[in-house]
């Protein structure tokens, strides 16, 4: 059994808001974390980028906290805050000195109750999002290929294949009515989970939560987007010329298993064996042995999620920056050789134990901050209806056997189900 004992106290308000308290009084810091069950995969055609645009609107003021107040009140009290949009959820947090818990709750409740949606705020944030797109995507090597093109190759269903950041045309088309409707439908207490973690006394924290959130009305539940994907039967491959890239990069993905299924647990461990730390197979055999790969990242859910928020249909995907002396096809072959050797030749002595220890240590390391604990608790409540996974999922991962990993490698990471995107410098001379 893993030595994890993160305290979890659950409570549901009559309006459907699910609340989790997780006290830890060592450092006078508290996190207020709220996650709404709506993300980019719930967007409608013609409204790409809407979930993210809306996330920006959440910082534009609400009934009693005027424009700018949210940032100002949190920062002037020594805290930090942010929001982020994901395929299947959108989350917000305030990290504050613990005496400011009431402030964080007041701010979140005020905008859940009555967000200030008006044309001026919308225009202003439309510009900010467009600028964010220019900065973080259009002007970055690899980013456009990964954010816009990769989902189109990897998914057939529009809900999953459209751009999460959205197109300028769709952002222009968004109206105040769209934003208001989105708010009413998705930003309701019954579509949210609130977590309060860190230096709190639970009875007082609970009283504050009741005070601020209990009378926010619930809404009829939104229809969940239809995400079903047709099965993959043949490989799909594309070359992308990136004028900003100087070194070639490859994205490879395979449709993944259902969340929390035995195969999901097996793929988490498989990924650790392949890419977890310097003793992993990719590092030892591709970066070191073949000297073909320079850097890599991989995950169930890459690039927008990891195991903690992977939701099927999704992919086990990886990104490899590679030595231009090799071709993308050679890299794919090397990657699939590594995976095949797992099921053909089996695991080395000690390899699985190392991966298990690595997993456990990483988890302990990753739960040290109140924000990290709150974010996992909130998302597990939202995605699994079971925040206890924070303490228990490691046991499921650690129980995966070598045979299960080999079996999952053989069934999931196969050429027929592979999608690959080879991102090459636009001018081939530049990569030399």
Among positions 141-170, residues that touch another protein (CB under 8 A) are: 141
CB-nearer residue toward another protein: 103 or 194: 103
Residues 181-220 that bind another protein (CB under 8 A): 211-212
CB-nearer residue toward another protein: 141 or 225: 141
How would DSSP label each residue in 343-365? HHH-PPTTHHHHHHHHHHHHHHH
Cα dihedral 219, 225, 226, 229 in deg (nearest 10): -150
Residues 268-297 that bind another protein (CB under 8 A): 276-279, 283-284, 287-288, 291, 294-295
Part in contact with another protein (CB under 8 A); list of ranges 63-71, 83-91, 180-188, 312-320: 63-71
Residues 5-44 that bind another protein (CB under 8 A): 24, 26-29
CB-nearer residue toward another protein: 92 or 155: 92
CA angle 318, 324, 327 (to 5 degrees): 65
Instruction: Specify whether the CB–CB gap between 48 and 39 falls below 8 A.
Output: no
Size of the site for another protein (CB under 8 A): 82
Part in contact with another protein (CB under 8 A); list of ranges 68-76, 308-316, 334-342, 383-391: 68-76
Angle formed by the axes of helices 328-345 and 402-412, nearest 10°: 140
Which residues 6+ apart lie within 8 Å of 187 measured at CB? 36, 38, 112, 115
Instruction: Specify whether the CB–CB gap between 72 and 366 falls below 8 A.
Output: no
Site string for another protein, 375-394 (x = CB under 8 A): --------------------
Angle formed by the axes of helices 119-133 and 50-57, nearest 10°: 120
Instruction: Tell me whether strands 192-198 and 18-23 are parallel, antiparallel or unpaired.
Output: parallel
Nearest distance, CB of residue 147 and another protein, angstroms: 15
Nearest distance, CB of residue 357 and another protein, angstroms: 4
Residue of 1, 3, 203, 228 that binds another protein (CB under 8 A)? 3
CB-nearer residue toward another protein: 27 or 403: 27
Residues 96-135 that bind another protein (CB under 8 A): 96-103, 106-107, 110, 124, 127-128, 131-132, 134-135
Query: What's the rounded Cα separation, in Å, for the pair 305 and 316?
Result: 10
Closest CA to 160 of 260, 230, 57: 230
CB-nearer residue toward another protein: 357 or 392: 357
Three-state secondary-structure class, residue 370: helix
Give yes or no for residue 428 binding another protein (CB under 8 A): no
Three-state secondary-structure class, residue 96: strand
Residue of 79, 166, 301, 328 that binds another protein (CB under 8 A)? 79
Three-state secondary-structure class, residue 404: helix
CB-nearer residue toward another protein: 41 or 130: 130
Helix H segments across 346-429? 351-366, 370-384, 389-398, 402-412
Part in contact with another protein (CB under 8 A); list of ranges 86-94, 300-308, 357-365, 379-387: 357-365
CB-nearer residue toward another protein: 47 or 56: 56
Residue of 179, 245, 405, 421 that binds another protein (CB under 8 A)? 245
Give yes or no for residue 337 binding another protein (CB under 8 A): no
Residue of 219, 369, 386, 404 that binds another protein (CB under 8 A)? 369
Give yes or no for residue 136 binding another protein (CB under 8 A): yes
Part in contact with another protein (CB under 8 A); list of ranges 11-19, 46-54, 73-81, 412-420: 73-81
Which residues 6+ apart lie within 8 Å of 120 measured at CB? none
Part in contact with another protein (CB under 8 A); list of ranges 138-146, 170-178, 375-383, 395-403: 138-146
**End-to-end CA, the chain:** 51
- Total number of residues shown for the chain: 432
Nearest distance, CB of residue 156 and another protein, angstroms: 31
Query: What's the rounded Cα separation, in Å, for the pair 240 and 144?
Result: 10
Angle formed by the axes of helices 119-133 and 176-186, nearest 10°: 90
Residue of 7, 46, 78, 119 that binds another protein (CB under 8 A)? 78
Nearest distance, CB of residue 233 and another protein, angstroms: 35
């Amino acid at each position: 059994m893993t030595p994890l004992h993160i305290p979890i106290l659950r409570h549901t308000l009559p309006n459907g808001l699910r609340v989790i308290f997780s006290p830890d009084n060592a450092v006078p810091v508290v996190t207020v974390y709220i996650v709404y069950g709506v993300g980019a995969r719930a967007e409608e055609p013609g409204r790409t980028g809407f979930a993210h645009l809306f996330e920006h609107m959440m910082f534009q003021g609400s009934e009693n906290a005027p424009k700018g107040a949210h940032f100002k009140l949190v920062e002037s009290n020594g805290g930090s805050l942010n929001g982020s949009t994901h395929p299947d959820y959108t989350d917000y947090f305030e990290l504050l000195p613990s005496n400011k818990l009431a402030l964080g709750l007041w701010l979140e409740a005020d905008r859940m109750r009555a967000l200030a949606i008006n044309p001026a705020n919308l225009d202003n944030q439309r510009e900010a999002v467009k600028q964010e797109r220019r900065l973080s995507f259009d002007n970055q090597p690899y980013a456009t290929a990964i954010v816009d093109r990769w989902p189109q190759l990897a998914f057939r269903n529009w809900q999953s294949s459209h751009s999460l950041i959205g197109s300028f045309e769709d952002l222009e088309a968004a109206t105040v009515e769209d934003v208001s409707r989105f708010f009413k439908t998705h930003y309701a207490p019954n579509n949210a989970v609130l977590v309060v973690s860190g230096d709190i006394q639970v009875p007082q924290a609970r009283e504050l939560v009741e005070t601020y959130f209990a009378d926010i009305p619930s809404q009829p539940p939104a229809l969940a987007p239809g995400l079903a994907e047709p099965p993959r039967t043949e490989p799909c491959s594309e070359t992308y010329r990136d004028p900003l890239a100087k070194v070639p990069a490859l994205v490879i993905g395979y449709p993944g298993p259902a969340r929390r299924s035995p195969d999901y647990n097996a793929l988490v461990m498989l990924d650790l064996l392949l890419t977890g730390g310097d003793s992993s197979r990719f590092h030892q055999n591709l970066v070191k042995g073949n000297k073909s790969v320079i850097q890599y990242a991989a995950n169930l859910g890459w690039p927008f999620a990891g195991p903690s928020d992977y939701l099927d249909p999704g992919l086990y995907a990886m990104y490899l920056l590679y030595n231009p002396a090799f071709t993308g096809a050679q890299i794919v072959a090397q990657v699939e050789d590594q995976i095949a050797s797992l099921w053909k030749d089996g695991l080395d002595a000690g390899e699985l134990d190392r991966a298990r220890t690595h997993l456990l240590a990483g988890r302990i390391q990753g739960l040290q901050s109140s924000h990290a604990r709150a974010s996992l608790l909130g998302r597990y409540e939202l995605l699994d209806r079971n925040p206890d996974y924070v303490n228990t999922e490691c046991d499921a991962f650690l129980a995966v056997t070598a045979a299960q990993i080999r079996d999952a490698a053989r069934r999931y990471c196969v050429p027929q189900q592979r999608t690959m995107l080879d991102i090459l410098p636009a001018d081939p001379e530049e990569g030399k």
